[in-house]
A and B are shown apart, each in its own frame.
Chain A
Amino acid sequence: MYAVEMVNIVKKFPGVLANDHVTIRVKKGEIHAIVGENGAGKSTLMNQLYGLYHPDEGEIFINGEKVTIRGPKDAIKNGIGMVHQHFMLVDTLTVAENVVLGSEPVKGLNFDMKKARQDVKDLSEKYGLFVDVDAKIEDIPVGMQQRVEIIKTLYRGANIIILDEPTAVLTPQEVEELFEIMRKLKDSGKTILFISHKLHEVMEISDRITVMRLGKVTGELETSKTNPKEIARHMVGREVVLRVTKEPHEPKEVVFEIKDLVVKDNRGLTAVNGISFNVRKGEIVGIAGVAGNGQTELVEAITGLRKIESGNIYFEGKDVTGFNPKQLRELGMAHIPEDRLKHGLIKEFEAYYNVILGQHYKYPFSNGTFLYHDNIFNYTKDLMEEFDVRPRKIDHLGGNFSGGNQQKLVVGREIKTNPKFLVVAQPTRGLDVGAIEFIHKQILKMRSLDAGILLISMELEEIFSLSDRILVMYEGEIMGEVKPEETTIEEVGLMMTGHRFEEVRRG
């Protein structure tokens, strides 16, 4: 008996065939993993099961019965719940309000807050999902927000729960807790669809696996009868090197240093709390940490985008505290930002205007008053060639490139300034393996050219494979510094949850 059957699903978006005759069968009471690279069509498939998209072709069966899912309402009616990759929570409402939203208990004409709180408490106790029912979402940590999302599906009586990349925002320890919850849910008879591209997690938690690539199913596997190499082959269609090779390289003098840096976030709370470190030329320093522990604010402060409360920043020994982005760029700093659509690109600008951003006022792009369009066009052509940006159209709008090509434009623009110090934040978020490999190589090339590099990433594998030194950040502080060859993922994971290096080593 299958809990979910999706047969021959076809879903087209303008210019993309997101799902190409996809068939997936999920047994009742199992944890079924759907793996694939970004853009393989996993989320699209699940969004159709939850009624957010509608399939162009194909049929869906729930518990053997054919259903049409016109919207989330129908999905909920069929016992389907979904925890999205980006949480679907209303920040200004409380946990209880968020859980009951859309199926609120009422008393007469009024919304019954008392019952809502009690219902949420009951569910939370029954499944061991600890939450603070009266806290506002904006005030609780990510892990708790995820538990709220799971309670939301349970409150609506879901028997089939879709978890879309649930571990992306968690520390290794929180991932274990989540797996504990998933096992508990499975034991109580729930069916779980678990989307991931992290193979070791899939191996640990799932019963069966469906692998997708480029919109198609490329493999259906029993977890107990397979191994990560086989899954990876189905995922990318070839044997994969799971790590780039890093040549040894002797770092030179210190190019960048911060001392006792304190920075506040948008809400006025301290986000970076007295951090000090330095970066030498020809060295990659990685900063590991769970999202939201002050990395974004740290990067913004370093690059002149955010006010510094106290502490100092030195560039080649010179105090540059309080310099604006333009001044810092003039000194030889470049920045590949974590959010390419927010900071990195201007979607409405053509490629040729995007690649001169930050240097537009300088020769050869202008004389300070008038732009030199011929020079700009030629430079853009060269850059697109060198960094393999497709399509090779210099007047293509920034927003019309694919994610990988947008990132190549940004990376190319920053690297071509020949920076002495390069800040790289989440450089491969949402990219496919080919693009990731290309960008990693570019970063290593900069290292061999003796640029100092600060790498901030949520992907521990990326940090481990690129960094010469790793700093672990937790709640705005550095928990410790380790060398990748002298530590383990587990050790770094512990530091990411707030254990200082000394405690971790003491055991």
Chain B
Amino acid sequence: MRILEAIFLVFINPLFYKITLTAATPLIFASLGGVYSEITGVVNIALEGIMLLGAFTSVLFTWLTGNVWIGVFMAVISGLALAWLHAWGSIKWAGNQVVLGTALILIAQGVTGFLMEPIFGKPGQTDFVGKVEELRIPGLADIPFIGKVFGELSPFVYMAFAAVAFSWWLIYKTRLGLRMRSVGENPEAADTLGINVYGIRYFGVLMSGVWAGLAGAYLSVGEVGHFRELMSGGRGFIALAAMILGNYNPVGAMLASLLFGASSAFANQMQSSSLIHVSATVKPLFDMIPFVLTIIVVAGFVGKSHVPKADGVPYEKEA
């Protein structure tokens, strides 16, 4: 009974909803990245690596310039760079997209770990370099309950929702979006109509670099203000699961990200619940929850969502 009570208390606590939003934010960005890449037909499991590199770069440039927004901007640039490598290998050279993604994750982990000592003088974790301030909305912040959830949030949270709206418009309401969807379904058909299949795919993959780079920036300068080795911690893959669950649609991916965010928030709040005593040794079991949930979701929904038909298949023109 104490457990039920603890669960109930979590759900009526505004903090639970706030943590849901903040935990979902990097997932929303990264799963949007997945959507852009995969609807044009390129599987991008490198999201995990792009996030990690973005987190590192934003800390690096915040530390160098003292301006977090320059850090965030550079995270986007680094995301573009890694995504470009993915696009180059998988579009131009028709490589195996899953294996290329794995390579890029390894390169991102290697590069970020490698540069820790030469730049920051110590391995593992950097010092605090500064972070993006939370945005307090006067008035809203004073409303009971709602104020505690929405009143004071990182601007990244709002940016994430704006990015979803923008992406939905771009993909479903513009000429470019129509072409993106056609290229991921039937690149040959698009090609016979004079659409530049490679160009559109490059665009999709590069945009995934922008969004995943932002996701990474949020992890470091957006949330904690420092960089830690391997701090993306599998969230790039959870974002992929959110994309699948969201049926390759920006709004769906956002809703799925919120679900995953809620599961982390729940695990987090239960651990600190004063009603049930959770010992430190059990903590890893709570940390498992999002990953178990991801498996269930992927196994339960993968057959039900419409995968773009040409997803993962390199497009090769004949001579």
A and B touch in the complex (CB under 8 A): yes
Whether A88 pairs with B188 at a CB distance below 8 angstroms is yes
User: Is the CB of A453 closer than 8 A to any CB of chain B?
Assistant: no
Closest Cβ–Cβ distance, residue A127 to chain B (whole Å): 19
User: Is the CB of A21 closer than 8 A to any CB of chain B?
Assistant: no
Whether B192 pairs with A88 at a CB distance below 8 angstroms is yes
B156-202 contacts to A, CB under 8 A, are 173-175, 177-179, 181-182, 185-186, 188-195
Of the A-B pairs whose beta carbons lie under 8 Å apart in the complex, a sample of 8, sorted by A's number, is A54-B319, A71-B194, A92-B185, A93-B182, A101-B178, A102-B190, A111-B173, A111-B177
Closest Cβ–Cβ distance, residue A144 to chain B (whole Å): 16
User: Is the CB of B306 closer than 8 A to any CB of chain A?
Assistant: yes
User: Is the CB of A73 closer than 8 A to any CB of chain B?
Assistant: yes
Contacts of A88 in B (CB 8 A): 186, 188-189, 192-193
Give the contact-size bracket for chain B: 20 to 34
A45-93 contacts to B, CB under 8 A, are 50, 52-54, 71-73, 76, 82, 84, 87-93
A103-119 contacts to B, CB under 8 A, are 103-104, 106, 109-111
Whether A90 pairs with B181 at a CB distance below 8 angstroms is yes
Whether A102 pairs with B194 at a CB distance below 8 angstroms is yes
User: Is the CB of B318 closer than 8 A to any CB of chain A?
Assistant: yes
The chain A residue sitting closest to B173, CB to CB, is: A110
User: Is the CB of A297 closer than 8 A to any CB of chain B?
Assistant: no
Interface on chain A toward B: helix, strand, loop, or mixed SS? Answer: loop
User: Is the CB of B148 closer than 8 A to any CB of chain A?
Assistant: no
Whether B182 pairs with A104 at a CB distance below 8 angstroms is no
Contacts of B189 in A (CB 8 A): 87-90, 98, 101
- In the complex where A109-B174, A111-B173, A111-B175 touch, is A90 in contact with B194 (Cβ < 8 A)? no
Contacts of B191 in A (CB 8 A): 52, 72
| Interface flags, A461-483, vs B, CB<8A=1, else 0 | 00000000000000000000000
A-B pair number, CB within 8 angstroms: 70
Contacts of B192 in A (CB 8 A): 50, 52, 72, 82, 84, 88
User: Is the CB of A283 closer than 8 A to any CB of chain B?
Assistant: no
Contacts of B177 in A (CB 8 A): 111
Contacts of B309 in A (CB 8 A): 91
The chain A residue sitting closest to B177, CB to CB, is: A111
Contacts of B194 in A (CB 8 A): 71-73, 76, 102-103
Closest Cβ–Cβ distance, residue A413 to chain B (whole Å): 29
Contact for B186 among A13, A91, A106, CB less than 8 A: A91
The chain A residue sitting closest to B317, CB to CB, is: A52
Contacts of B179 in A (CB 8 A): 101-102
CA distance A93 to B186 in the complex (A): 10
CA distance A53 to B319 in the complex (A): 6
Contacts of B175 in A (CB 8 A): 104, 106, 111
Closest Cβ–Cβ distance, residue A225 to chain B (whole Å): 36
User: Is the CB of A165 closer than 8 A to any CB of chain B?
Assistant: no
Contacts of A76 in B (CB 8 A): 193-194
Whether B182 pairs with A90 at a CB distance below 8 angstroms is yes
Most buried by A among B175, B185, B318: B175
A88-147 contacts to B, CB under 8 A, are 88-93, 97-98, 101-104, 106, 109-111
Contact for B195 among A54, A97, A102, A111, CB less than 8 A: A102
Apart from A72-B193, A72-B194, what are 10 other A-B pairs with CB-CB below 8 Å?
Answer: A53-B318, A88-B186, A88-B189, A89-B186, A90-B182, A90-B186, A91-B309, A101-B190, A102-B193, A104-B175
Contacts of A97 in B (CB 8 A): 178
CA distance A72 to B175 in the complex (A): 19
CA distance A71 to B190 in the complex (A): 12
Contacts of B181 in A (CB 8 A): 90, 92-93
Most buried by B among A72, A84, A90, A92: A90
Contacts of A110 in B (CB 8 A): 173-174
